[in-house]
Amino acid sequence: MTDKATPKPKLVRWIIGLPVALFAVLMLGSQLFFNASPDKEAQWVERETIRLCWKEREKGPKENTPAQFTEGQCEQLEFAFKNKWGINP
């Protein structure tokens, strides 16, 4: 009778390792994408600012807080975005 070591569960390693590796590759890819094109990140920030401006204008500021955006500022932000990037936000 020979004592053989029990085989290690390779399937479990694949089930855990594959998603972790895929996540790491996607994170690295997104970092490379944003580092390669800093304009994309700047556009994203400006688009989010415009979106928040319109959201606040529609709903009003939160309770007990002053308004962050004044009347007509959303239109000015959109106009500046169109002039700077040449596309609509």
pLDDT (tens place) for every residue of the chain, 89 residues total: 556 666 667 888 888 889 999 999 999 988 887 777 778 888 989 999 999 999 888 887 777 778 788 888 999 999 999 999 888 88
pTM exceeding the 0.85 threshold for the entire prediction:
no
Q: What is the 3-state secondary structure (H, E, C) of the chain?
A: CCCCCCCCCHHHHHHHHHHHHHHHHHHHHHHHHHHHCHHHHHHHHHHHHHHHHHHHHHHCCCCCCCCCCCCCHHHHHHHHHHHHHCCCC
Please report where in the chains the tokens 């994170």 appear, as a residue. Answer: 27
Determine the pLDDT at residue 79: 94
Map out the domains of the chain as residue ranges. Answer: 11-61+68-85
